[in-house]
């Protein structure tokens, strides 16, 4: 067989199946789409589940892919062994109710024997023990030697995950040779030794499991095959390790060259670090290429762990400074042709990695110092366990992921108190949730206690007024029949035009009216489809089964509609200016303004903010139609609608389109035309968490209010400076120049004053033990002024120790300053100030020539001066 490179093998496989009538699709994103069961795509078939389940119609009945995959379950073994990795590529061929076992196995056999030219005598096949059909295909159609067909049980050759589609599978093995075997005469596939390597699995999805052990035939049978590309490359290149495969070795050699540490094929401890950096930076490159950003949760935390673990192992190899972007470059160099999106985003991926490594390096040193102190303390106590609180502090304060702390501890022969760490993490989570828990409304209690058949019908998309029947009334005391004037309560109606808070949008407000009452609606919330209206009765009373006229406050709703549609336009504008990596991380829409949180790695520039604002106003001024349609998730996905991964959508979803500019899944209230927004003004852009930025903006009437505020400020400033508005800039420039001149004059006067003061102070010198001592107490003098005064005296006098104290608002600051000739004799200002300040209930320190300290008791200043005399 001919040795082939990994990139060559990928193309050979995809082209082969393309010739067999398969639709060739590029790899799906590592971010699962509409699949909350997965954090990151971890297999070739994972993105295809909607096709196999019949939820979405596939683009073709036959498909072939090379899918990017990430698995971190065995991350602690990455680097330790030569075969574990977090990133891998899975070649796949799929049939959605088209062909079945015979074609799948025949084409598989054709590929490995005619395209790869693998030696037939080194190939083996396994089938499920009851699958005579697959066995006969191998034996009678492919003419594979019967003695090399192995029947294996359910654990090895039957694929199922809980309920639903499942089926037997057939695996193809490569015999690596007797030297890898266990020596047993019956050694064959299924044995625990390393001789037989399984590299291609053909899954035949033909049954449905009802959960009680009963299997029924599927109407449409599917094929799902998975061939590990790195594993195949190991076979074709006759190497034992994935790190010896050509493309991975290319990256590994770059790590070795960067560190100056040679790779010794697993024979040296440093090889572990080289392998970890190689693997983790392959994963990080592809993850960022798919718009996953470093963060403290979810996929972002997986990425952060990988980058920080790689960075730490760079330190272990002796690499100084930032280096991971160089390795990213090598990953893109070797894989960019197969994945052009990496080449297109080279600069972006490098910036993300650089910033994350930079951030980690800022705190890593301090974290490692804390760890070293903990190790020393534990050794002194004959204890080999790192406390949970230290592990938590390293995670929470220094950004050191728990698994890295655990790894470092194991390297030093320590264990970690994992239970203690988990308790502190749980406590932090509970504390974070406390505020929300203490602000519960009566409706939350009602939502858990109220037995209501069905849901509240929401009519607010079509109307802002409706008549509804009161089904239940809740107060803090519980369910009641009637409430009267000035009472507050929560009402449940059979239907409502009031929008309940959700999806980032605050609720409608308004009034309730009937011949017997008038009430104001303050807030609306919902739980499991039931709407709870928090109201205050202005007059009259409300009883169960009353019919009330519900009137939504139109001005309030219109404000929310403007701002909600504004967030959709903003989202798209951010994608255009900053890049497609920008994803919504949260939002808040009220009648007064909008807040939009999004994933981005650095502050926006002033120019970028203006760009975004201009794009938004351009789309508003185009008067684009805002169209909302209701459809199923499959069709919404086909249409290209975007939505938050974390959001919960039902079978039917609402798709909101702003012309052809934006399309998102959204259940909120919107304008019917972008022109109704009026205009938009961004008022702030800030960071709220690592990798998450926040924009706040106003629209419509909010822009007018903002302009009025700014106009008032301008008018007030102009009045204070006694000038006209159009002359304000010149007047402020002139005033700043005046202030600058006055400060210069003041500094000169202070300098003259210090000269005079230093001369008079020197008259109070005392000689103690051959050293001149100068002490003095000041009132309301800043520490910087004391420093400048001491420097001036040093220019006039040597063989001198100065001890100054200044009292400001009942607190004391001590300064000890020592001339260089006295320092050379062994005197140390930092040590002296510590003992001097202690007399007045304080403490501090500093360098040998100058140090300062704070203290609490001004009455002890003279005692502190006496302590200085004793020290001399």
Give the helix/strand (H/E) hosting 108: helix 101-110
% of the chain beyond a pLDDT of 70: 96
| Residue showing tokens 């009963």 | 214
Local structure of residue 78 (DSSP, 8 states): B
Average pLDDT over residues 147-171: 88
Q: Which H, E and C letters describe 468-492, residue by residue?
A: EEEEEEEECCEEECEECCCCEEEEE
Please classify residue 430 by burial: count the beta carbons closer than 10 Å to its beta carbon, then call 0-12 exposed, 13-18 middle and 19+ buried: exposed
Residue 435's pLDDT band (cuts 50, 70, 90): very low
Q: What is the pTM of this model?
A: 0.66
Q: Give the DSSP letter string of 125-164.
A: EEEETT-HHHHHIIIIIS---GGGEEEE-HHHHEE--SSE
How are beta strands 771-779 and 800-808 bridged, if at all? parallel
| Residue showing tokens 């107060």 | 475
> 537-575: string of b/e by CB count within 10 Å (b at 16+)?
beeeebebebebebbbbeebbbbbbbbbbbbbbbbbbbb
Residue 453's pLDDT band (cuts 50, 70, 90): low
Over 70: is that where the pLDDT of 646 sits? no
Specify the higher pLDDT residue, 46 or 620.
Answer: 620
Residue 162's pLDDT is what? 66
Phi, psi of 690 (to 5 degrees): -60, 120
As assigned by CATH, the class of the 6-240 domain is alpha beta
Residue 755's pLDDT band (cuts 50, 70, 90): confident
Answer yes or no: CATH 3.10.310.40 is held by domain 765-871: yes
Answer yes or no: CATH 2.60.40.10 is held by domain 557-707: no
Pick from 168-177, 344-353, 447-456: least confident: 447-456
Phi, psi of 269 (to 5 degrees): -60, -30
Q: Give the DSSP letter string of 832-850.
A: HHHHHHHTTT-EEEE-SSE
Residue 60's pLDDT band (cuts 50, 70, 90): very high
Local structure of residue 317 (DSSP, 8 states): T
Residue 437's pLDDT is what? 41
Pick from 160-164, 278-282, 606-610: least confident: 160-164
Residue 204: partners with Cβ closer than 8 Å, 6 or more residues away: 100, 101, 104, 131, 134, 167, 168, 169, 170, 221, 223
Residue 210's pLDDT band (cuts 50, 70, 90): confident
Local structure of residue 188 (DSSP, 8 states): -
Specify the higher pLDDT residue, 486 or 522.
Answer: 522
Phi, psi of 362 (to 5 degrees): -65, -35
Over 60: is that where the pLDDT of 645 sits? no
Residue 400's pLDDT is what? 80
Average pLDDT over residues 255-281: 92
pLDDT in tens, 580-639: 888 888 899 999 999 999 988 889 999 999 999 999 999 999 999 999 999 887 788 778
pLDDT in tens, 84-143: 899 999 999 999 999 999 999 999 999 999 999 999 999 999 999 999 999 999 999 999
The answer to whether the beta carbons of residues 627 and 565 sit under 8 Å apart is no
The answer to whether the beta carbons of residues 400 and 367 sit under 8 Å apart is yes
Over 50: is that where the pLDDT of 434 sits? no
Residue 173's pLDDT is what? 96
Over 60: is that where the pLDDT of 303 sits? yes
Specify the higher pLDDT residue, 695 or 186.
Answer: 695
Helix, strand, coil percentages for the chain (3-state, nearest 5): 45, 25, 30
Using DSSP, state whether 350 is helix, strand or coil: helix
- Tell me how far apart the alpha carbons of residues 785 and 749 are, in angstroms, rounded to a whole number: 13
Integer CA distances (angstroms), 81 to 85, 689, 796, in order: 9, 36, 69
Average pLDDT over residues 405-422: 85
Using DSSP, state whether 598 is helix, strand or coil: strand
Phi, psi of 373 (to 5 degrees): -65, -40
Residue 533's pLDDT is what? 95
Over 70: is that where the pLDDT of 805 sits? yes
Residue 349: partners with Cβ closer than 8 Å, 6 or more residues away: 285, 288, 289, 328, 332, 342
Specify the higher pLDDT residue, 33 or 806.
Answer: 806
Residues in the chain: 872
Q: Which H, E and C letters describe 726-742, residue by residue?
A: HHHHHHHHHHHHHHHHH
Residue 443's pLDDT is what? 54
| Residue showing tokens 């008032």 | 712
- Tell me how far apart the alpha carbons of residues 146 and 141 are, in angstroms, rounded to a whole number: 12
Nearest to 699 by CA among 780, 823, 596: 596
Residue 496 pairs with which residues in a beta bridge? 458
- Tell me how far apart the alpha carbons of residues 248 and 279 are, in angstroms, rounded to a whole number: 8
pLDDT in tens, 514-546: 999 999 999 999 988 899 999 999 999 999 999
- Average confidence score pLDDT of the chain: 89
| Residue showing tokens 């994350």 | 356
Phi, psi of 194 (to 5 degrees): -95, 10
The answer to whether the beta carbons of residues 220 and 96 sit under 8 Å apart is yes
Token reading at 359: 């951030």
Residue 795's pLDDT is what? 85
CA angle 338-342-344, nearest 5°?
110
Residue 297's pLDDT band (cuts 50, 70, 90): confident
Average pLDDT over residues 742-768: 85
pLDDT in tens, 377-391: 777 777 788 888 888
> 696-733: string of b/e by CB count within 10 Å (b at 16+)?
ebbbbebbeeeeeeeeeeeeeebeeeebeeeeeeebee
């Amino acid at each position: 067989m001919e040795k082939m490179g990994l990139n060559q093998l990928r193309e050979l496989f995809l082209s082969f199946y393309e010739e067999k009538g398969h639709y060739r699709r590029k790899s799906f994103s590592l971010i699962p789409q509409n699949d909350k069961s997965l954090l990151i795509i971890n297999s070739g078939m994972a993105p295809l589940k909607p096709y196999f389940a019949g939820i979405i119609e596939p683009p073709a009945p036959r498909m072939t892919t090379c899918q990017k995959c990430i698995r971190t379950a065995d991350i602690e073994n990455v680097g330790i062994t030569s075969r574990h990795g977090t990133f891998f590529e899975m070649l796949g061929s799929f049939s959605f109710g088209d062909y079945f076992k015979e074609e799948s196995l025949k084409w598989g056999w054709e590929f490995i024997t005619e395209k790869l030219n693998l030696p037939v005598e080194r190939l083996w096949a396994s089938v499920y023990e009851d699958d005579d059909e697959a066995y006969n295909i191998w034996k009678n159609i492919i003419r594979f030697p019967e003695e090399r067909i192995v029947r294996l049980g359910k654990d090895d050759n039957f694929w199922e995950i809980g309920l639903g589609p499942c089926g037997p599978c057939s695996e193809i093995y490569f015999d690596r040779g007797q030297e890898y075997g266990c020596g047993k005469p019956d050694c064959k596939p299924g044995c625990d030794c390393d001789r037989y390597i399984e590299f291609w699995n053909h899954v035949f999805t033909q049954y449905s499991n009802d959960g009680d052990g009963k299997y029924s035939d599927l109407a449409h049978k599917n094929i799902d095959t998975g061939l590990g590309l790195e594993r195949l490359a190991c076979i074709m290149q006759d190497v034992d390790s994935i790190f010896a495969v050509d493309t991975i070795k290319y990256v590994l050699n770059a790590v070795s060259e960067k560190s100056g540490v040679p790779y010794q094929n697993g024979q040296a401890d440093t090889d572990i670090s080289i392998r970890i950096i190689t693997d983790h930076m392959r994963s990080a490159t592809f993850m960022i290429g798919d718009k996953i950003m470093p963060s403290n949760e979810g996929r972002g935390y997986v990425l952060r762990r990988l980058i920080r673990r790689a960075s730490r192992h760079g330190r272990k190899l002796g690499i100084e400074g930032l280096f991971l972007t160089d390795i990213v470059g090598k990953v893109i160099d070797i894989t960019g042709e197969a994945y052009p999106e990496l080449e297109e985003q080279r600069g972006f991926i490098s910036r993300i990695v650089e910033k994350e490594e930079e951030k980690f390096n800022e705190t890593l040193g301090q974290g490692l110092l804390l760890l070293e102190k903990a190790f020393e303390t534990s050794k002194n106590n004959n204890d080999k366990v790192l406390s949970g609180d230290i592990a938590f502090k390293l995670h929470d304060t220094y950004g050191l992921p728990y698994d890295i702390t655990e790894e470092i501890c194991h390297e030093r022969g320590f264990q970690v108190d994992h239970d203690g760490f988990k308790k502190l993490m749980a406590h932090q989570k509970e504390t974070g949730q406390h505020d929300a828990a203490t602000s519960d409304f009566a409706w939350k209690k009602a939502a858990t206690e109220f037995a209501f058949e069905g849901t509240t019908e929401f009519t607010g998309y079509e109307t802002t007024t409706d008549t509804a029947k009161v089904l239940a009334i809740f107060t803090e005391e519980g369910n009641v029949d009637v409430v009267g004037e000035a009472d507050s309560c929560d009402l449940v109606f059979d239907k409502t035009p009031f929008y309940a808070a959700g999806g980032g949008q605050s609720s409608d407000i308004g009034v309730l009216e009937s011949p017997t009452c008038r009430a104001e609606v303050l807030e609306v919330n919902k739980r499991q489809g039931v709407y709870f209206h928090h109201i205050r009765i202005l007059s009259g009373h409300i009883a169960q089964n009353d019919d009330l006229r519900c009137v939504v406050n139109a001005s309030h709703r219109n404000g929310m509609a403007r701002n909600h549609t504004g967030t959709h336009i903003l989202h798209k504008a951010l994608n255009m200016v900053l890049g497609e990596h920008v994803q919504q991380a949260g939002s808040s829409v009220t009648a007064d303004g909008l807040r939009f949180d999004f994933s981005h790695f650095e502050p926006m520039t002033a120019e970028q903010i203006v760009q975004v604002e201009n794009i938004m106003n351009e789309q508003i001024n185009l008067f684009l139609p805002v169209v909302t349609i209701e459809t199923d998730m499959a069709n919404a996905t086909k249409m290209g609608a975007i939505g938050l991964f974390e959001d919960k959508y039902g079978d039917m979803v609402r798709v909101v389109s702003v012309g052809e500019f934006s399309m998102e899944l959204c259940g909120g209230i919107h304008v019917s035309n972008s022109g109704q927004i009026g205009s938009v003004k961004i008022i702030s852009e800030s960071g709220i968490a690592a990798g998450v930025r926040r924009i706040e903006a106003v629209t419509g009437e909010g822009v007018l209010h903002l302009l009025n505020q700014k106009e008032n400020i301008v008018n007030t400033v102009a009045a204070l400076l006694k000038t006209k508005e159009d002359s304000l800039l010149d007047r402020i420039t002139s005033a700043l120049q005046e202030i600058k001149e006055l400060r210069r004059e003041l500094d000169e006067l202070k300098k003259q004053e210090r000269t005079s003061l230093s001369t008079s102070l020197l008259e109070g010198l005392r000689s103690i033990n051959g050293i001149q001592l100068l002490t003095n107490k000041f009132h309301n003098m800043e520490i910087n002024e004391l420093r400048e005064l001491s420097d001036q005296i040093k220019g006039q006098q040597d063989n001198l120790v100065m001890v100054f104290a200044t009292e400001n608002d009942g607190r004391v600051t001590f300064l000890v300053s020592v001339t260089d000739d006295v320092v050379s004799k062994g005197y140390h200002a930092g040590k002296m100030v510590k003992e001097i300040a202690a007399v007045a209930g304080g403490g501090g320190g500093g360098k040998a020539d100058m140090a300062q300290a704070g203290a609490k008791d001004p009455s002890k200043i003279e005692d502190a001066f006496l302590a200085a005399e004793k020290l001399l």
